[in-house]
Amino acid sequence: MERDNQFIGQSLAFLDSVERVSRAAMLNRPVLVIGERGTGKELVAERLHRLSSRWDGPFIAMNCAALTETLIEAELFGHEAGAFTGATRARPGRFEEADGGTLFLDELGTLSPGAQERLLRAVEYGEVTRIGANRPMRVDVRIVAATNENLPHLVDQGRFRADLLDRLSFEVITLPPLRARDGDVAQLADFFGRRMAAELGWDLWPGFSKTAMADMEAHGWPGNIRELRNVAERAVYRWADSARPVDGLVFDPFASPWQPSALGQKQPPLVEKAAPLAAETGPARPLPLRLAVQAYERQLLDDALARHRHNQRATAKALGLTYDQLRHCLKKHGLLEIAA
């Protein structure tokens, strides 16, 4: 799938972060990009590179969490032939590959202490030494790093070097989560939906229904833009009638009455799960079918509340209930205090 390289949004929080990115791009200084998963940290790093004087140089991205501690230093700084078992030939590291351009280090907070120490020297002196080599080499690299961790907190815990954080934090850009970007959900959903419709060969884009858009506006989006993209595109591709506005969102694709239980955990039967409710809501010995229906109804309520972060009005809309009907169901199943 092609990389999304467009900045889409109109909220003040979003526009403010874009303006800070554009200003920071002009300076040859390190930048830290902070944000929750799915907020577009690599997209920001690419924008910093494209707007800088290094735009025609290489942009090298590396996910620090994707490699083991024993390999990450070799990946960053390179190695000579025979430097360790399996090193049959010399290999340049990411710093050498990014010479004259930008090196983007994602998941910076996962770097090992040894890699942090060597990274500090590279940032401070512009020199890297391949593993197994005797002499350092000069590199001209701009560092852009990203994380969803609280790096000052990691420093306090002794898990991240304070001097390295000082060197990398010339500018710190914290990206707003989608829930804080007022009005951007509708714009992003329309963009992703329209693009999926074109991919499916639809002649026209009917848009999302008012109900679907209201549900998306009410959702908390813990996965931010990446989650919104999945929800919008999934809804379009599952929609059978391209002439009508798209409806029927699925926020949790794993939700299913047949979902397997966690590994090693025994799934209790529906009758046993509903048994404690029977004494409160029905006769002493109800029929098994009634117990199963109660259990399934409670599970639907639990799932909907979790998806909508216990926002009762949003949950009621998602379930096709009025607010009063939802409150009655919650009270019936003993969930009213939990949902409050």
8 A C-beta contact, residue 131 and residue 78: yes
Range(s) of the chain covered by CATH 1.10.8.60 = 182-238
* Sheet bearing 171-174, strands edge to edge: 59-63, 102-106, 142-147, 31-34, 171-174
Q: Output the tens digit of pLDDT for each of the chain's 340 residues.
A: 345 557 899 999 999 999 999 999 999 999 999 999 999 999 999 999 999 999 999 999 999 988 877 788 888 988 888 777 777 788 898 999 999 999 999 999 999 888 899 899 899 989 998 888 888 899 999 999 999 999 999 999 999 999 999 999 999 999 999 999 999 999 999 999 999 999 999 999 999 999 999 999 999 999 999 999 999 999 999 998 999 999 989 999 988 777 776 655 555 444 444 444 444 444 444 456 767 777 788 888 888 888 877 888 888 888 888 877 888 788 777 787 665 5
The residue type at 1: M
Return the HEC string of 68-114. Answer: CHHHHHHHHHCECCCCCCCCCCCECCHHHHCCCCEEEEECHHHCCHH
User: Structure tokens of 160?
Assistant: 């991240």
Identify the bridge partners of residue 130 per DSSP, sorted by sequence position.
Answer: none
Domain with CATH 1.10.10 in the chain: 270-339
pTM exceeds cut of 0.75:
no
Q: Which fold has domain 270-339?
A: Arc Repressor Mutant, subunit A (1.10.10)
Using N-to-C axis directions, what is the helix angle for 184-199 and 210-218, rounded to 10°? 130
Where do the CATH 3.40.50.300 domains begin and end in the chain?
12-176
CATH class of 12-176: alpha beta
The CATH class of the 182-238 domain is mainly alpha
Helix-strand-coil percent breakdown of the chain, rounded to 5?
50, 10, 40
